[in-house]
Amino acid sequence: MKGKSDMWYLWMWMVYLLLLFCDLSYCCGSAEYLINGECCPMCSPGEHVFKHCTEYTNTSCKPCTPKLFMAVPNGLLHCITCTVCDPGLGLKTDRECSPTSDAVCGPLDQHYCIEADKKDCRLAQRHSICRPGTFIRRNGTTLTNTECEECRDKTFSNKSSLPFCKLHTDCQSLGLQEITAGTNTSDSVCGTRNHPHSRVAVLVPLVLGAGLSVAFIAIILFFRKRKKRKQSYSLHVVQSVLTDKRMQNMETEN
């Protein structure tokens, strides 16, 4: 009996403390808020308190204006400012702000999120560019950066962000000679093979052609010079004859 009596007193004490607590704190329902000693009904999501309730009036609510929202039942006098997705932070708006929910930001195209709050991205960074000499091993996503890898032997990439490296041209298989070896950023340069016989075959006609040209020019010059000598001799003979005639005429006159 004593044990039951102790339990009863303990239970009564707990009820007393609960009533005292509720009296001091004005216990309100889950859909109410305490203000000025009154338990006022909360405003719905998408609204804020315009006027608090009184003993005789109910809570007066107003809708949130554009660029403001309220996601939960509340007893607040002002709605919350919507988040702005700043492109300067690498962000774009994935979901517009509404009276009952905030805007949701995501990374811009070719960006990935580096700072997030639950599903909302707060800061994003541009995907890395794979430089020449590398290729894209794994494309970037909204959550991960691009992964680059070096071109392997006998392959190259001469542009940025290529999906794969290309094989160097095999000059030998084309019957050509490699002039410049390929690197990880450039292809091999091929040219025709230089054989000794082919050099002779090219040089002999060139030498013969040059010799014939010189001989032809020499012959032309020789005949021109000879012709000039003949012309000079003929002119000298004519002048001598004329001079002799003049002398004879002068003698007969005397």
Same domain, 139 and 183: yes
Asked if residue 42 belongs to a domain, the reply is yes
Same domain, 112 and 158: no
pLDDT at 102 over 90: yes
pLDDT at res. 113: 97
Same domain, 187 and 151: yes
More confident residue, 234 or 213: 213
More confident residue, 67 or 238: 67
Which among 169, 191, 213 is the end of a domain? 191
* Residues pairing with 100 in the sheet: none
Task: Compute the average pLDDT of residues 186-207.
Answer: 73
pLDDT at 121 over 50: yes
Asked if residue 205 belongs to a domain, the reply is no
- Smallest Cα–Cα separation from 111: which of 94, 132, 135? 94
pLDDT at res. 222: 75
Asked if residue 199 belongs to a domain, the reply is no
- Which domain, by its residues, includes 93? 83-126
pLDDT at res. 217: 84
Same domain, 49 and 92: no
More confident residue, 20 or 89: 89
Asked if residue 163 belongs to a domain, the reply is yes
Asked if residue 184 belongs to a domain, the reply is yes
When divided into structural domains, the chain yields a total of 3
Task: Kindly state the percentage of the chain with pLDDT values over 70.
Answer: 74
Asked if residue 240 belongs to a domain, the reply is no
Asked if residue 197 belongs to a domain, the reply is no
C-alpha 77: how far from its chain's center? 47
Q: What mean pLDDT, rounded, does the chain reach?
A: 84
Task: Compute the average pLDDT of residues 64-93.
Answer: 97
Q: Decide: residue 155, CB within 10 A, 0-12 exposed, 13-18 middle, 19+ buried.
A: middle
Q: Express each pLDDT in 30-40 by its tens digit.
A: 999 999 889 99
Take residue 207 and report the two structure tokens written for it: 């030498």
Asked if residue 161 belongs to a domain, the reply is yes
- pTM for the model stands at 0.58
Which among 149, 164, 191 is the end of a domain? 191
Task: Kindly state the percentage of the chain with pLDDT values over 90.
Answer: 61
CATH code for the domain in which residue 67 is found? 2.10.50.10
Three-state DSSP string of the chain:
CHHHHHHHHHHHHHHHHHHHHHHHHCCCCCCEEEECCEEEECECCCEEEEECCCCCCCCEEEECCCCEECCCCECCCCCEECCCCCHHHCEEEEECCECCECCEEEECCCEEEEEEECCEEEEEEECCCCCCCEEEEECCCCCCCCEEEECCCCEECCCCCCCCCEECCCCHHHCCEEEECCCCCCCCEEECCCCHHHHHHHHHHHHHHHHHHHHHHHHHHHHHHHHHHHHHHHHHHHHHHHHHHHHHHHHHHC
Q: Decide: residue 49, CB within 10 A, 0-12 exposed, 13-18 middle, 19+ buried.
A: buried
pLDDT at 203 over 70: no
pLDDT at res. 205: 72
